[in-house]
A = this chain, B = another copy of it.
Amino acid sequence: MSAKTTARPSARDRILAAADELFYEEGIHSVGIDRVIERAGVAKASLYNTFGSKDELVRTYLLSRKAAREAQIARKIARLATPRARLLAIFDVLGDVVADPEFRGCAFQRATAEAPAGGSIRQVCDGSRAWTRSLMVDLGRDAGVVDPQALAQQLLLLYDGALMGARLDRDPSTATAARTVAEGLIDAAIAQGRSGVDPS
Protein backbone atom coordinates (compact mmCIF):
# COMPACT_ATOMS: atom_id res chain seq x y z
CA MET A 1 0.00 0.00 0.00
CA SER A 2 2.71 2.41 -0.95
CA ALA A 3 0.13 4.75 -2.44
CA LYS A 4 -3.54 4.58 -3.13
CA THR A 5 -4.31 4.29 -6.81
CA THR A 6 -6.36 7.48 -6.78
CA ALA A 7 -4.51 9.28 -4.01
CA ARG A 8 -5.63 12.83 -3.61
CA PRO A 9 -2.81 15.24 -4.47
CA SER A 10 -1.21 16.95 -1.50
CA ALA A 11 -2.54 20.28 -0.31
CA ARG A 12 0.54 21.96 -1.74
CA ASP A 13 -0.07 20.53 -5.20
CA ARG A 14 -3.75 21.41 -5.16
CA ILE A 15 -2.98 24.97 -4.08
CA LEU A 16 -0.40 25.35 -6.82
CA ALA A 17 -2.76 23.98 -9.45
CA ALA A 18 -5.55 26.30 -8.37
CA ALA A 19 -3.20 29.28 -8.24
CA ASP A 20 -1.93 28.49 -11.72
CA GLU A 21 -5.40 28.42 -13.18
CA LEU A 22 -6.68 31.50 -11.42
CA PHE A 23 -3.62 33.74 -11.59
CA TYR A 24 -2.99 32.94 -15.23
CA GLU A 25 -6.63 33.30 -16.23
CA GLU A 26 -7.58 36.42 -14.27
CA GLY A 27 -4.39 38.06 -13.09
CA ILE A 28 -2.64 38.15 -9.77
CA HIS A 29 -4.21 41.18 -8.15
CA SER A 30 -7.68 40.23 -9.25
CA VAL A 31 -7.57 36.85 -7.52
CA GLY A 32 -7.73 36.83 -3.75
CA ILE A 33 -6.40 34.13 -1.46
CA ASP A 34 -9.94 33.08 -0.64
CA ARG A 35 -10.62 32.18 -4.27
CA VAL A 36 -7.46 30.09 -4.41
CA ILE A 37 -8.19 28.08 -1.28
CA GLU A 38 -11.79 27.59 -2.33
CA ARG A 39 -10.80 26.13 -5.69
CA ALA A 40 -8.04 24.05 -4.15
CA GLY A 41 -10.41 22.74 -1.47
CA VAL A 42 -7.91 23.65 1.19
CA ALA A 43 -7.83 25.52 4.47
CA LYS A 44 -6.35 28.98 4.59
CA ALA A 45 -3.85 27.85 7.20
CA SER A 46 -2.56 25.20 4.81
CA LEU A 47 -1.74 27.83 2.25
CA TYR A 48 0.07 30.04 4.71
CA ASN A 49 1.87 27.12 6.34
CA THR A 50 3.08 25.91 2.97
CA PHE A 51 3.92 29.14 1.17
CA GLY A 52 4.15 31.79 3.86
CA SER A 53 2.63 34.60 1.85
CA LYS A 54 0.79 35.37 -1.36
CA ASP A 55 3.98 36.77 -2.84
CA GLU A 56 5.75 33.47 -2.32
CA LEU A 57 2.83 31.59 -3.83
CA VAL A 58 3.00 33.84 -6.88
CA ARG A 59 6.74 33.30 -7.15
CA THR A 60 6.27 29.53 -6.95
CA TYR A 61 3.52 29.66 -9.55
CA LEU A 62 5.82 31.49 -11.95
CA LEU A 63 8.76 29.19 -11.26
CA SER A 64 6.61 26.16 -12.03
CA ARG A 65 5.50 27.76 -15.32
CA LYS A 66 9.13 28.47 -16.14
CA ALA A 67 10.17 24.88 -15.43
CA ALA A 68 7.29 23.46 -17.47
CA ARG A 69 8.09 25.63 -20.49
CA GLU A 70 11.78 24.83 -20.38
CA ALA A 71 11.08 21.11 -20.09
CA GLN A 72 8.69 21.32 -23.02
CA ILE A 73 11.29 22.96 -25.23
CA ALA A 74 14.09 20.68 -24.06
CA ARG A 75 11.99 17.61 -24.83
CA LYS A 76 11.22 18.77 -28.36
CA ILE A 77 14.78 19.79 -29.05
CA ALA A 78 16.28 16.52 -27.83
CA ARG A 79 14.79 14.65 -30.77
CA LEU A 80 16.41 16.89 -33.37
CA ALA A 81 19.90 16.72 -34.75
CA THR A 82 20.85 20.07 -36.31
CA PRO A 83 21.04 23.43 -34.52
CA ARG A 84 18.93 24.89 -37.31
CA ALA A 85 16.12 22.41 -36.68
CA ARG A 86 16.41 23.03 -32.96
CA LEU A 87 16.09 26.77 -33.33
CA LEU A 88 12.98 26.30 -35.42
CA ALA A 89 11.61 23.84 -32.89
CA ILE A 90 11.45 26.67 -30.37
CA PHE A 91 8.91 28.28 -32.65
CA ASP A 92 7.06 25.01 -33.07
CA VAL A 93 6.61 24.82 -29.32
CA LEU A 94 5.46 28.43 -29.43
CA GLY A 95 2.86 27.41 -31.98
CA ASP A 96 1.56 24.70 -29.66
CA VAL A 97 1.47 27.12 -26.75
CA VAL A 98 -0.52 29.85 -28.44
CA ALA A 99 -2.90 27.35 -30.05
CA ASP A 100 -3.99 26.07 -26.64
CA PRO A 101 -7.49 27.40 -25.94
CA GLU A 102 -6.36 28.18 -22.41
CA PHE A 103 -3.59 30.44 -23.73
CA ARG A 104 -3.73 33.92 -22.22
CA GLY A 105 -0.34 35.32 -23.14
CA CYS A 106 3.04 35.16 -21.51
CA ALA A 107 2.58 34.59 -17.77
CA PHE A 108 5.79 36.43 -16.91
CA GLN A 109 4.99 39.46 -18.96
CA ARG A 110 1.53 39.63 -17.45
CA ALA A 111 2.85 39.20 -13.94
CA THR A 112 5.46 41.93 -14.36
CA ALA A 113 2.73 44.24 -15.61
CA GLU A 114 1.16 44.02 -12.16
CA ALA A 115 4.19 43.71 -9.93
CA PRO A 116 6.37 46.49 -8.56
CA ALA A 117 9.59 47.12 -10.44
CA GLY A 118 12.24 45.65 -8.18
CA GLY A 119 10.43 42.64 -6.75
CA SER A 120 11.07 38.92 -6.89
CA ILE A 121 8.58 38.47 -9.72
CA ARG A 122 10.82 40.46 -12.00
CA GLN A 123 13.72 38.21 -11.10
CA VAL A 124 11.83 35.09 -12.14
CA CYS A 125 10.89 36.78 -15.39
CA ASP A 126 14.50 37.83 -16.01
CA GLY A 127 15.61 34.26 -15.37
CA SER A 128 13.12 32.89 -17.86
CA ARG A 129 14.21 35.33 -20.55
CA ALA A 130 17.87 34.64 -19.89
CA TRP A 131 17.28 30.91 -20.34
CA THR A 132 15.53 31.33 -23.67
CA ARG A 133 18.05 33.84 -24.92
CA SER A 134 21.06 31.76 -23.99
CA LEU A 135 19.51 28.70 -25.61
CA MET A 136 19.14 30.70 -28.82
CA VAL A 137 22.69 32.03 -28.58
CA ASP A 138 24.11 28.54 -28.03
CA LEU A 139 22.18 27.04 -30.92
CA GLY A 140 23.17 29.92 -33.16
CA ARG A 141 26.81 29.43 -32.30
CA ASP A 142 26.49 25.67 -32.95
CA ALA A 143 25.02 26.50 -36.33
CA GLY A 144 28.11 28.55 -37.12
CA VAL A 145 26.54 31.98 -37.38
CA VAL A 146 28.90 34.94 -37.12
CA ASP A 147 27.04 36.91 -34.45
CA PRO A 148 24.84 34.56 -32.40
CA GLN A 149 23.88 37.34 -30.00
CA ALA A 150 22.43 39.42 -32.80
CA LEU A 151 20.53 36.46 -34.23
CA ALA A 152 19.19 35.63 -30.78
CA GLN A 153 17.97 39.20 -30.36
CA GLN A 154 16.14 39.00 -33.66
CA LEU A 155 14.58 35.65 -32.85
CA LEU A 156 13.55 36.79 -29.40
CA LEU A 157 11.89 39.77 -31.04
CA LEU A 158 9.77 37.42 -33.11
CA TYR A 159 9.13 35.12 -30.18
CA ASP A 160 7.92 37.95 -27.96
CA GLY A 161 5.93 39.54 -30.73
CA ALA A 162 4.13 36.30 -31.47
CA LEU A 163 3.23 35.80 -27.80
CA MET A 164 1.92 39.32 -27.49
CA GLY A 165 0.10 39.36 -30.80
CA ALA A 166 -1.50 35.97 -30.25
CA ARG A 167 -2.96 37.17 -26.99
CA LEU A 168 -4.07 40.66 -27.93
CA ASP A 169 -5.45 39.71 -31.33
CA ARG A 170 -6.64 36.27 -30.21
CA ASP A 171 -4.90 34.95 -33.29
CA PRO A 172 -2.54 31.98 -32.98
CA SER A 173 -1.33 32.41 -36.56
CA THR A 174 1.27 34.86 -35.30
CA ALA A 175 3.38 31.86 -34.26
CA THR A 176 3.59 30.43 -37.77
CA ALA A 177 4.29 33.89 -39.14
CA ALA A 178 7.08 34.26 -36.61
CA ARG A 179 8.44 30.87 -37.59
CA THR A 180 8.50 31.81 -41.24
CA VAL A 181 10.39 35.03 -40.64
CA ALA A 182 12.70 33.26 -38.19
CA GLU A 183 13.55 30.66 -40.80
CA GLY A 184 14.64 33.37 -43.20
CA LEU A 185 16.80 35.07 -40.57
CA ILE A 186 18.39 31.81 -39.46
CA ASP A 187 19.23 30.72 -42.98
CA ALA A 188 20.65 34.14 -43.83
CA ALA A 189 22.81 34.07 -40.71
CA ILE A 190 24.03 30.55 -41.42
CA ALA A 191 24.80 31.42 -45.04
CA GLN A 192 26.75 34.45 -43.91
CA GLY A 193 28.66 32.28 -41.46
CA ARG A 194 29.60 29.76 -44.14
CA SER A 195 30.71 32.35 -46.68
CA GLY A 196 32.82 34.02 -44.00
CA VAL A 197 34.43 30.77 -42.92
CA ASP A 198 35.15 29.44 -46.38
CA PRO A 199 38.07 31.36 -47.92
CA SER A 200 37.02 32.98 -51.18
Contact = CB atoms under 8 A, between A and B. Distances in A.
A135 to B, nearest CB: 15
Given A27-B114, A157-B158, 11 more contacts: A27-B29, A27-B113, A109-B164, A113-B113, A126-B168, A129-B168, A156-B161, A156-B165, A157-B161, A157-B162, A161-B161
Interface of A: 26-27, 29-30, 105-106, 108-110, 112-116, 125-126, 129, 150, 153-154, 156-165, 167-169, 173-174, 177-178, 181, 185
Contacts of A29: 27, 29-30, 114
A150 B114 CA distance: 33
Given A27-B113, A109-B113, A165 B169 contact: no
Copies of this protein, total = 2
Contacts of A112: 167-168
B30 A168 contact: no
